[in-house]
Amino acid sequence: MTIATPLLEVRDLCVAVGDKPVLKGISLKVAPGELHVLLGPNGSGKSSLLAAIMGLPPWRVTSGTMFLDGTPIDELSLFERAQLGIGMAFQRPPSLEGVSLNSFAKSIDAHSDLDQAAERLNLTAFLQRDLNVGFSGGEIKRWEVLKLILQDPHLALFDEPESGVDLEHVKAIGTAIQQFMARPDASGRQRAGLVITHTGLILAHVEASHAHILQNGELVHSGPPTELFQHVQSHGYSVPLAS
Amino acid sequence: MSDTTAQLSGDTLSNAERKTLMDVGFDDLSQRAGTSILVDRSIKLTHSVDPGVEILPLNEALKTYEFVQDLMFGLVSADANDHIRMIAADMDDPLGHFVWVKPGAKVRLPVQTFTLMETPQARQFTHDVTLIDEGAEVEMVSGAAAPSDVHRGQHISLSETYMRKGAKCRSVSMAHWGDGMEVYGYSYSHMEGGAQEESLSIALSAIRRDENNSVSTLMENATSVAQAICFAPSGTHRIMKSEIVLAGSGARSEDITRMVSAGGTITSDALLIGDAPGTQGFLGCDGLKLNKTGEIMAIPSLCARAEGSQLSHEASVGMIDSDKLNYLMASGMTEDAARDLIVQGFLSLDDAVVPDAVKARVAEMIVQAKSGGM
């Protein structure tokens, strides 16, 4: 694919956790308006790629580089990357006892948006609840999407947004993600995103533009999302023969 | 009914005194059912506007009501230890508050009592007696403080609280002493059948040594839910010893202590005794260290003596979880902002019972502690 000005560019990225390499020479470009799907078996490096882009420890870039809207982000801290416009919906976020949705929203100066956004995700009754404390799987995932709506990132990373969620909630989460991705950020810029899915259920509700298969820390194939997911369902995470 | 209303002009308390007291929960007298303020070695003000509440200096109450002599040292021996012996030396002319909430009174506004130490290097010995009579209901706010220019001194206090049958009390107490002071507090309470207590105590400011010892006895079906929040910046040493005796069948208690060290040391030594059948009790001690110095020690102890007494405890002490910090920072917060949010959440200061001024003060102290300003 050819992209003139990608929002995210990952060039030959190698990442390790401790001494163990988890990503080996990943290259990827994501343009504004695009939503890329990451497919792959457990341990293939999907979550590691999102964590490395976000800047989460203990993932450590050993070589290669990453750019957000042309700006190198390798040397930026986690907080600085978030401030620059990267946001992430966590797969398994921690519980924060005593920190309510309300107080979180105030802390990131997004309190004025909270009521409306919470209503869209059916989380109005949770505003006084502590973050992720006693939440069901579906409630955690809805909160993670609500968190991104409040944060308003330019690049959104979704780590398995539908895992552990019943079908009804997958639709609600997928619809919310689609609406969020389709809406420009506060500066009027088109968003872009990366989403990890195991089940592929989310693909029925979001308009993904590209899909990639990862194996053993390498990006081994890219293609149209629906076609590639059908291949995975029939043949596992193998490289399609036509490629 | 005590009526010193004539003294209650704006001159009764100086602006500086008001400011000091507001840090520990003081509100305008019109917002309180009763008020008592002790400054240095005398009661400066007592005031009650609710016929269900009687507030007097303890020495005056001793002369006014015959039963008060039986309440004084009714829960602890006057010879219990050196500190209490020092307080008992003035047994016939004690310095302290006497609060009596009369039988069946449903007091609408809170009752507030405060102790101030305005003279540097003073030694203050106080003895408070509180009687919440049968079926009475009240909310109480109490505070102890020294103004910002008083750094050193010693305060030793004894408090005896009686809750008669079916009495209900919700209370908040706050302390803000000088950073070089030594404070020793002894609190004893006796809850008769069906009495209910819900309390929150907050100690946040830097202090050289702060020792609190409490003993609570709960009779049949009495219930107590107590929370303590304390903060220890560098140079602060806090020791909290408590003993809760579930002495009557069906008595229940929940005692939660949350400790934050920013370089200071905190010891929480809590003993829960199930002395009657059908009693239930829980001790929770959680400690959070903000940096590598300082120490938090949690010692929860359980002693079941009666059949069917169910007692449990949970204790955790550690640094801030890096996963939580990273999670918040990934949403765009600085590390400091993320830490503040976690600490304030840990301390549960969203609780409606905590006055806004106190919440703001806690946030300020956390910032000061990090910057080494305390």
Specify the pLDDT at position A182: 95
Specify the pLDDT at position B372: 46
What would the mean pLDDT of B76-97 be, rounded to a whole number? 96
d(C-alpha A4, C-alpha B289), whole Å: 49
Q: What pTM, to 2 d.p., does this model score?
A: 0.81
The tokens for B194 are 């069906």
What would the mean pLDDT of B250-272 be, rounded to a whole number? 95
Helices (H) and strands (E) in chain A, counts: 7, 12
CB A192 within 8 A of CB A123: no
Q: Does the CA dihedral B316-B318-B323-B324 come out positive or negative? A: positive
Comparison of pLDDT for B157 and B353, the residue scoring more: B157
Q: Give the closest residue to A106 by CA, choosing from B344, B319, B367.
A: B344
B314 contact A CB<8A: no
d(C-alpha B255, C-alpha B187), whole Å: 15
Q: Where does the pLDDT of residue B365 fall: very low under 50, low under 70, confident under 90, or very high at 90 and above?
A: low
The alpha-carbon gap from B343 to the nearest alpha carbon of chain A, in Å, equals 9
Q: List chain A residues with CB under 8 Å of B333.
A: 79, 82, 107-108
Which element (helix H / strand E) includes A81? helix A78-84
Side-chain-side CA neighbours of A6 within 13 Å: the count stands at: 18
d(C-alpha A179, C-alpha A24), whole Å: 33
Specify the pLDDT at position B303: 97
Evaluate if residue B9 carries a pLDDT over 50: no
Contact criterion met (CB < 8 Å) for B345 and A130: yes
Specify the pLDDT at position A164: 83
d(C-alpha B353, C-alpha B355), whole Å: 6
Specify the pLDDT at position B7: 44
Q: In residues, how long is chain A?
A: 243
d(C-alpha A21, C-alpha A14), whole Å: 7
The string of pLDDT tens digits covering residues A145-185 is 999 999 999 999 999 999 888 888 899 899 999 999 999 99
The string of pLDDT tens digits covering residues A62-98 is 999 999 999 999 999 999 999 999 999 999 999 998 8
Q: Tell me, what DSSP letter sits at residue B339? A: H
Q: Tell me, what DSSP letter sits at residue B106? A: B
d(C-alpha A82, C-alpha B36), whole Å: 52
d(C-alpha A48, C-alpha A212), whole Å: 14
Contact criterion met (CB < 8 Å) for A98 and B350: yes
Q: List chain A residues with CB under 8 Å of B342.
A: 96, 99
How far CA A21 is from CA of A10, A41, A166, A212, in Å, comes to 17, 17, 34, 20
A18 contact B CB<8A: no
Comparison of pLDDT for B353 and A104, the residue scoring more: A104
* Residue A58 preceded by cis peptide, ω within 30: yes
Q: List chain A residues with CB under 8 Å of B330.
A: 54-56, 78, 82, 87-88, 90
Q: List chain B residues with CB under 8 Å of A103.
A: 341, 344-345, 350
CB A181 within 8 A of CB A35: yes
Q: List chain B residues with CB under 8 Å of A147.
A: 331
How far CA A155 is from CA of A84, A113, A235, B38, in Å, comes to 9, 19, 31, 60
A127 contact B CB<8A: no
CB neighbour list of residue A206: distance below 8 Å, 6 or more residues apart: A35, A174, A177, A178, A181, A195
* Residue from A53, A56, A88, A99 whose CB has the most chain B CBs within 10 Å, to mutate: A99
Specify the pLDDT at position B355: 64
Q: List chain A residues with CB under 8 Å of B286.
A: none
CB pairs A-B closer than 8 Å: 72
A94 contact B CB<8A: yes
Q: Where does the pLDDT of residue B252 fall: very low under 50, low under 70, confident under 90, or very high at 90 and above?
A: very high
Contact criterion met (CB < 8 Å) for A94 and B350: no
B291 contact A CB<8A: no
Evaluate if residue A199 carries a pLDDT over 90: no
d(C-alpha B181, C-alpha B64), whole Å: 34
Evaluate if residue B14 carries a pLDDT over 80: yes
CA A210 and chain centroid, separation: 14
Predicted ipTM?
0.95
The alpha-carbon gap from A99 to the nearest alpha carbon of chain B, in Å, equals 5
What would the mean pLDDT of B156-170 be, rounded to a whole number? 98
